[in-house]
Structure formats: C-alpha cells, structure tokens
Structure 1
Amino acid sequence: MTQPARDLDFLTACAALEWMVELGADAAVTDTPVDCYALAESLAPKAPAVPVAEGRAPMAPAAPRAPLPVEGPDPVESARAEAARAHDLDALRAAIAGFDGCELKKGARNTVFADGNPKARVMIVGEAPGRDEDQQGLPFVGRAGHLLDRMFAAIGLSRSSPDPASALYITNVLPWRPPGNRDPEPAEIAMMLPFLSRHVALADPDVIVLMGNAACAAALGRRGILRLRGTWAEAFGRPALPMTHPAYLLRQPQAKREAWADLLSLRARLDTLPG
C-alpha cells in the first residue's frame, strides 16, 4: 500500500533543495537526460552548418557588441561629492534627503537618518530600515529596536541619555527601506558608503558597533557575521565590534549568549578608553 506523501515545511523543503543541487540536480526535467558532470562544451547546442555558395568566402562571425555607456553621472561619485560638502550633521541629513541617485528612495516613505545622542561615545551602524522604521523615520524602532534598547541598557547605554558617556547614537548603512525588507545590494551599499563615512567623521564616536552583514560589508569589506562577531576590528579609523543583528536574535534566541559576551566586551573596551 502506498504511503501518502508528507507535506514538507519551508525549512525542510529548502534543505532538500540544497541537497539536490549539491548532487548536481540543478536543472528542470527535460525530454532528454542531461549529464551534469559532462563538459560544458559538449552540452552546448551546435549551430547548423551554413552552405557556402561556390566561389564565395564564408562570412566572418559578427564582432561582439560593446556595452552601452552608462548615461548620467556616476552615483557613487555624486554621493562622495555631496557628502564632502556637508560640514555638520544637519547638512549631511539634508544632503542624504536630497540625494536622488538611489532607486530605494522612490519607494520609501521616509529618509531614516539617525537617532540618539550625536555626541555619544558609541555609534551603532545597522543595515537598513524595516517597515516600522520607514513609517516613523527613525532607526531600530520595531521589535528588533526594542530588543536593542534592552541589550544596551544592560551595560548602561541608552539612546535617550543626555550624557555622552552613557549614550548611543544609531544609524544605518541605507537610509531607505529596501522593498520587502530584502538585504541591501552591493551597489546600494557602495552608493551610500560615502555618506556613512562622512556620518562617522562628523559624529566622531570612540567606538562603532556593526550590526549585521550589511554593516560589516560597508565598514570592513567582509561578510559572515557569525564568524566576524565578537572580534574587534577597525572601521573608519576607529575600533569596531561586529555583532549579530537583533532581528537575528529574535529568530535564534540561543544566540543571545554570544551577544551578551559581545556586550561585555564592548563595556570593557569603553572602560579602558579615555573618554
């Protein structure tokens, strides 16, 4: 008797798909069998021979077309020029709000610039706004933001503190929400990196906390937050501590133990730095 098929949950289905791809089953079912281990040349369809008229030389293959030139100014250079002209945080906020080189701006409700005390010793750099952040125009105000506040309050730091020694200043790599809360793309990170670099220079924190992969990609040029977290690095000329994003901790509560160790490392670093 045939057993009824079991419904797979999403994670099990993804794991099964990845296993099949590793085995080489990465193509849809076709009418003829495909040897995924054969050389690519042997699988490429061969063009039919074209008869050549007697006494006429065969035509040479057409030369590949050159890529079309990109119209308009380079958005990265434009961002670099706009950021350099900002001599304080208010001017930088206005420069970012007026920058039209990033397509994300067209679909966002608000430009999310920063929150907290700009004189704080600790500057947190997140990835990009989510739905709640896009609606309110502030970084880290959803469930992940509430967790972030509780995490840093445990080591005596708060975005609402007027004292720079116990304050936080928070921003993101991208000021606009990516559609569907997808991860920031490398081109978007590169485009907004001049603004982030200028932001750090104007705020002048003692320490930077890099929350998540996009922040590490922008500041360190590396990804793999689970390998990078907890290891001090240097970003924008300052000590930088990569940490897992609070949104990840909401999905993986067992990772809060490592996050607590990172917070203690940050507290110890602050206590040894002059400030």
Structure 2
Amino acid sequence: MTTVTPAAPRVGVPKRRGAISQSVRDSLTVAKRNLIRMLRIPEMVIFGLIQPIMFVVLFSYVFGGSINVGGSTSSAAYREFLMAGIFAQTVTFATAGAGAGIADDMHRGLIDRFRSLPMARGAVLTGRTLADLVQTALTLVVLAVVAFLVGWRSHENLGKVLAGFALLLLLGYAFSWIGALIGLSVRTPEAATSGGLIWLFPLTFISNAFVPSDNMPTFLRHIAEWNPFSATVQAARELFGNLPPNYKAPDAWPMQHPVWASLIWSVLIIVAFRTLAVRKYRSATA
C-alpha cells in the first residue's frame, strides 16, 4: 500500500508591486536624494537665487520709466507688467541646471549605479525633475518677496495668484524635461549648461515678457504670440491682475485664452520630452 504524502503548503509569494506604484516610490526616493544633495551644497541654491534677483532690480530700475506700457511710462506700471516675465524667465532658466545635473550624474557613473538597481527606468529622470521643481518653487517664493519690496503688487484674490504661480511652476517642470534630454545628449555638464541656455535667450526675448509685442515686426510678433513662454506670461499677468490699463489682447488664440494655452503647451512639452528623455536614457544605459 502506498502512502500519499500531502502536498506541502505553498509558501506565500509576495505580490509584485504595481508598475505605477513602484515608479512613484522610486521617483520620490531619487527626488529625496537630490534634495538632500542640494541642502548639503547650499551654494547651488544661493547662486540660483542671485541671478533672478539681479534681473528684478536691474529691469525695474533701468528700464522702468522708459518703456510705454498701456499708454503709461511710469516705473510702477512697468514693474507690474515686468514681474510675470521675470517669474517665467526664472522657472525656464532652471532648464540649464537640470541638464547639467543629469549630465554630471552620467559623467560620474551615478546613472549606471542606479541602472544596476531593481528600479523603474524613468524614475531616475522623474526624481531629478521633481527635485528641480522644489528648488524652482523656493526660488519663486524668494523672488516674489523681492518683487514686493521693489513695488510689485497683485490685484486679484489669493486663489488666482496661487493659480498663476502654479502655471509658472508647470511651465518650469515642462522645461526641466527639455533640460533632461539635453543632459542625456551631451558628454559634459559644461556642454549641458551651454546647450540649456543658448536657445532660451531667443525664446524668452522674442516674447511679451519684457516689452509689449505690439511694436515688434510682424513676423516676430506672430512668433511671440504663439510662443509657449508668452502664453504663460500672459496667463500669469491675467491671474495676478497685472494687465496694463486699457489693455486689448492680440487676436492670436493663445493671447485670447492664455490660461488654456499655457496648460496645453506645458502638458504637450511634458509628454513629448519626457518620452524622448526616457527613451534616450534607456538607449544611453543599454
């Protein structure tokens, strides 16, 4: 007679974490690592604050009173017109830092160490861009205080003001993915810094950030009106209540509906450049 041996109970197999939850967890871990690094190197934050503060002071007092805004050449009118442009320029210029940081991680082999760990592939880039977003938010807070001290005021309720800053941060986050792609495409952090800035200057100056686009040559005016940077600047001015008196928006759709245009542009940039950056990351570390 044979004896039937009962089957051994199955040892519980841990449930595999969902891909989304793992990606979120890994992204936050990488973001925490980058934030700790920023705290240990405070000069990174300090130097990042100096440039936008200089822009606020110089533009306010050098150009204030010499540029006609809504029929007025007063310094106060120009400061209110200017600040949304300075805020937007600050969040987009963070692109260079994002690209340089990722290029530095690639250069020092840190990305290869991350690749050897069982973590989501896109988490390294997402974590880095989230950490840059936190630093950008801190910069905006300091910049808003400086702007208040030089005479900038908002004329809308707190909800609209916060919505304006949210659109600015969304644009900054979108541009950080452009920086991530640049950082993965070059060999050195210095090249990433140059590559991150060289295209930003024409983007920010061929816009409505510092002067009204009305007096630009026709072809430049069309570029400025459809510039994603201009859409966010216009939306911020509208939400801050900083549009010039008797202002009439240009006929271009982004200037007529700047909040929607800003949202659409930022989301499209995030989707497109995150896809390209993650693909580049995978091919660069394959």
TM-score higher than 0.5: no
Larger Rg: 1
Q: Report the structure, 1 or 2, having the larger helix content.
A: 2
Q: What's the TM-score bracket when you normalise by the shorter of the two chains?
A: under 0.3
Higher relative contact order (CA 8 A, sep 6+): 2
